[in-house]
Amino acid sequence: MDDKRYDSLKIENIVASGAIADSIDLAEVAQKVANCELNTKRFPGAVFRMEDPKSASLIFSSGKVVLTGIRDKKSLEKGLAIIIQSLKEAGVKTYDSPRVAVTNIVCSYDIGKYINLNRVVITLNLESIEYEPEQFPGLVYRIHDPKIVALLFSSGKIILTGGKNLEDVKRGLDILEQKLGSIL
Protein backbone atom coordinates (compact mmCIF):
# COMPACT_ATOMS: atom_id res chain seq x y z
CA MET A 1 0.00 0.00 0.00
CA ASP A 2 2.94 2.36 -0.47
CA ASP A 3 0.93 4.10 -3.15
CA LYS A 4 1.91 7.66 -4.16
CA ARG A 5 -1.61 8.88 -3.40
CA TYR A 6 -0.91 8.35 0.30
CA ASP A 7 2.17 10.61 0.27
CA SER A 8 0.43 13.45 2.12
CA LEU A 9 -1.18 11.09 4.69
CA LYS A 10 0.41 11.88 8.04
CA ILE A 11 -0.23 10.40 11.47
CA GLU A 12 -0.90 13.26 13.89
CA ASN A 13 -1.81 11.28 17.00
CA ILE A 14 -2.19 7.72 18.19
CA VAL A 15 -4.29 6.91 21.24
CA ALA A 16 -3.85 3.55 22.95
CA SER A 17 -5.47 2.22 26.09
CA GLY A 18 -5.74 -0.87 28.21
CA ALA A 19 -4.79 -2.47 31.48
CA ILE A 20 -1.26 -2.63 32.92
CA ALA A 21 -1.99 -3.66 36.53
CA ASP A 22 -4.80 -4.85 38.82
CA SER A 23 -4.66 -1.61 40.80
CA ILE A 24 -2.37 1.38 41.26
CA ASP A 25 -1.87 3.63 44.29
CA LEU A 26 -1.84 6.93 42.41
CA ALA A 27 -0.79 9.06 45.39
CA GLU A 28 2.31 6.92 45.88
CA VAL A 29 3.10 6.86 42.16
CA ALA A 30 2.75 10.66 41.87
CA GLN A 31 5.23 11.08 44.75
CA LYS A 32 7.80 8.62 43.39
CA VAL A 33 7.64 9.13 39.61
CA ALA A 34 9.08 12.29 38.05
CA ASN A 35 6.77 14.16 35.65
CA CYS A 36 3.71 12.39 37.10
CA GLU A 37 1.04 14.73 38.48
CA LEU A 38 -2.04 13.90 40.50
CA ASN A 39 -4.78 16.42 41.23
CA THR A 40 -7.91 14.46 42.14
CA LYS A 41 -9.96 17.66 42.44
CA ARG A 42 -9.47 18.24 38.71
CA PHE A 43 -9.14 14.70 37.31
CA PRO A 44 -9.44 11.15 38.74
CA GLY A 45 -6.19 9.91 37.20
CA ALA A 46 -2.52 10.75 37.26
CA VAL A 47 -0.99 12.50 34.26
CA PHE A 48 2.46 11.21 33.28
CA ARG A 49 4.28 13.37 30.71
CA MET A 50 7.24 12.07 28.73
CA GLU A 51 9.73 13.94 26.56
CA ASP A 52 10.98 10.95 24.54
CA PRO A 53 8.66 9.91 23.06
CA LYS A 54 6.84 13.23 23.51
CA SER A 55 3.50 12.10 24.90
CA ALA A 56 1.14 12.15 27.85
CA SER A 57 -0.41 9.21 29.62
CA LEU A 58 -3.32 8.98 31.96
CA ILE A 59 -2.91 6.41 34.71
CA PHE A 60 -5.90 5.30 36.76
CA SER A 61 -6.18 3.53 40.13
CA SER A 62 -8.03 0.68 38.36
CA GLY A 63 -4.77 -0.23 36.62
CA LYS A 64 -5.90 1.17 33.29
CA VAL A 65 -3.82 3.53 31.20
CA VAL A 66 -4.40 5.80 28.18
CA LEU A 67 -1.42 6.91 26.08
CA THR A 68 -1.78 9.86 23.73
CA GLY A 69 0.37 12.15 21.61
CA ILE A 70 2.32 9.32 20.02
CA ARG A 71 2.92 9.29 16.25
CA ASP A 72 4.21 5.78 15.47
CA LYS A 73 4.12 2.20 16.76
CA LYS A 74 7.77 2.23 17.86
CA SER A 75 7.14 5.29 20.07
CA LEU A 76 4.04 3.62 21.49
CA GLU A 77 6.06 0.56 22.51
CA LYS A 78 8.82 2.76 23.94
CA GLY A 79 6.36 4.95 25.88
CA LEU A 80 4.57 1.92 27.31
CA ALA A 81 7.89 0.39 28.38
CA ILE A 82 8.84 3.64 30.16
CA ILE A 83 5.49 3.72 32.00
CA ILE A 84 5.81 0.07 33.08
CA GLN A 85 9.42 0.55 34.23
CA SER A 86 8.58 3.76 36.12
CA LEU A 87 5.63 2.10 37.87
CA LYS A 88 7.71 -0.97 38.79
CA GLU A 89 10.39 1.30 40.27
CA ALA A 90 7.61 3.00 42.29
CA GLY A 91 6.59 -0.40 43.70
CA VAL A 92 3.58 -1.16 41.48
CA LYS A 93 3.09 -4.79 40.47
CA THR A 94 2.35 -4.54 36.75
CA TYR A 95 1.26 -7.28 34.37
CA ASP A 96 4.03 -9.22 32.62
CA SER A 97 2.15 -8.60 29.36
CA PRO A 98 0.22 -5.32 29.47
CA ARG A 99 -3.08 -5.47 27.56
CA VAL A 100 -2.80 -2.18 25.69
CA ALA A 101 -4.06 -1.63 22.15
CA VAL A 102 -4.47 1.26 19.72
CA THR A 103 -7.99 2.70 20.03
CA ASN A 104 -7.74 5.66 17.65
CA ILE A 105 -5.42 7.02 14.98
CA VAL A 106 -5.80 10.63 13.85
CA CYS A 107 -4.33 11.45 10.43
CA SER A 108 -4.16 14.51 8.23
CA TYR A 109 -4.31 14.40 4.45
CA ASP A 110 -4.18 16.98 1.68
CA ILE A 111 -6.30 16.09 -1.34
CA GLY A 112 -4.38 18.74 -3.28
CA LYS A 113 -7.32 20.77 -4.52
CA TYR A 114 -10.16 22.99 -3.34
CA ILE A 115 -13.28 21.19 -2.08
CA ASN A 116 -16.65 22.88 -2.62
CA LEU A 117 -18.30 21.70 0.60
CA ASN A 118 -21.76 22.95 -0.43
CA ARG A 119 -21.55 20.90 -3.63
CA VAL A 120 -20.49 17.83 -1.61
CA VAL A 121 -23.59 18.19 0.60
CA ILE A 122 -25.96 18.71 -2.35
CA THR A 123 -24.46 15.95 -4.51
CA LEU A 124 -24.04 13.24 -1.89
CA ASN A 125 -27.13 14.12 0.17
CA LEU A 126 -26.32 11.43 2.73
CA GLU A 127 -27.42 11.16 6.34
CA SER A 128 -23.77 10.45 7.18
CA ILE A 129 -22.84 14.08 6.42
CA GLU A 130 -23.02 17.01 8.83
CA TYR A 131 -22.26 20.50 7.60
CA GLU A 132 -23.13 23.61 9.56
CA PRO A 133 -20.62 26.28 8.49
CA GLU A 134 -21.96 28.73 11.12
CA GLN A 135 -20.91 26.24 13.83
CA PHE A 136 -17.78 24.65 12.31
CA PRO A 137 -15.96 25.37 9.02
CA GLY A 138 -15.53 21.70 8.12
CA LEU A 139 -17.85 19.06 6.75
CA VAL A 140 -18.15 15.92 8.88
CA TYR A 141 -18.48 12.70 6.86
CA ARG A 142 -19.00 9.42 8.70
CA ILE A 143 -17.85 6.26 6.95
CA HIS A 144 -19.41 3.13 8.42
CA ASP A 145 -17.01 0.41 7.23
CA PRO A 146 -14.27 0.99 8.22
CA LYS A 147 -15.61 3.17 11.05
CA ILE A 148 -13.82 6.43 10.17
CA VAL A 149 -14.87 10.05 10.59
CA ALA A 150 -13.47 12.47 8.01
CA LEU A 151 -13.42 16.23 8.51
CA LEU A 152 -13.23 17.94 5.12
CA PHE A 153 -12.16 21.55 4.74
CA SER A 154 -12.56 23.68 1.62
CA SER A 155 -8.76 24.10 1.48
CA GLY A 156 -8.47 20.43 0.51
CA LYS A 157 -7.19 19.42 3.94
CA ILE A 158 -8.84 16.38 5.51
CA ILE A 159 -8.61 14.99 9.05
CA LEU A 160 -9.38 11.27 9.43
CA THR A 161 -10.07 9.81 12.85
CA GLY A 162 -11.44 6.63 14.38
CA GLY A 163 -9.17 4.09 12.72
CA LYS A 164 -7.50 1.42 14.83
CA ASN A 165 -4.77 0.87 12.23
CA LEU A 166 -3.36 2.65 9.19
CA GLU A 167 -4.98 0.18 6.79
CA ASP A 168 -8.45 1.21 8.05
CA VAL A 169 -7.53 4.87 7.62
CA LYS A 170 -6.34 4.22 4.05
CA ARG A 171 -9.49 2.24 3.21
CA GLY A 172 -11.61 5.09 4.61
CA LEU A 173 -9.63 7.57 2.52
CA ASP A 174 -10.16 5.43 -0.60
CA ILE A 175 -13.93 5.36 0.02
CA LEU A 176 -13.95 9.12 0.60
CA GLU A 177 -11.99 9.86 -2.58
CA GLN A 178 -14.27 7.54 -4.55
CA LYS A 179 -17.35 9.46 -3.29
CA LEU A 180 -15.69 12.82 -3.98
CA GLY A 181 -14.34 11.77 -7.38
CA SER A 182 -17.35 12.93 -9.37
CA ILE A 183 -17.64 16.18 -7.40
CA LEU A 184 -14.09 17.56 -7.45
Tens of pLDDT, residue by residue over 3-35, are 677 889 999 999 999 999 999 999 999 999 999
* This model's pTM is above 0.95: no
- Assigned CATH topology for domain 111-180: TATA-Binding Protein (3.30.310)
Strand ranges inside 71-118, DSSP E: 94-110
Q: How far apart are CA 151 and CA 174, in angstroms?
A: 15
Provide the 10 A C-beta neighbour count for residue 109. 23
Measured CA angle at 86 (ends 83, 92), to 5 deg: 100
Measured CA angle at 169 (ends 15, 98), to 5 deg: 35
- Assigned CATH topology for domain 17-101: TATA-Binding Protein (3.30.310)
Q: How far apart are CA 46 and CA 146, in angstroms?
A: 33
Start-end ranges of CATH 3.30.310.10 in the chain?
Answer: 17-101, 111-180
Percent of the chain whose predicted confidence (pLDDT) is above 90? 85
